[in-house]
Amino acid sequence: MKPDSQPPIITDLKQECDVLRLNIDAVAGRLNGLKEHPAVAQVAVKPRGEMLANIILAYRHLEDARMRIGKVIQHYDGGVSKHDKP
């Protein structure tokens, strides 16, 4: 897919959010794998530490984005967390 092209929007909001969350999971998994990339091990200690710190920070931002999309679903459902339901 070209960078300027967008996938079609799914008309159901919750389904669209679920797809976005799955996409974030896929990217997060690949990002987390960067820590084990052979090229990272070949970098000097100080820059490697900075690289790892930025990978971890980027991963945490993706986790936050995934959670916030979950909050979209939560508020769409009336503000009730799925963990609050009996």
| Confidence category of residue 79, pLDDT binned at 50, 70, 90 | confident
User: Is 3's pLDDT higher than 70?
Assistant: no
User: Is 83's pLDDT higher than 90?
Assistant: no
Residue indicated by tokens 């995934």: 66
pLDDT of residue 11: 81
User: Is 39's pLDDT higher than 80?
Assistant: yes
CA–CA dist 54, 67 (Å, integer): 20
Residue type, 6: Q
Region 54-75 average pLDDT: 96
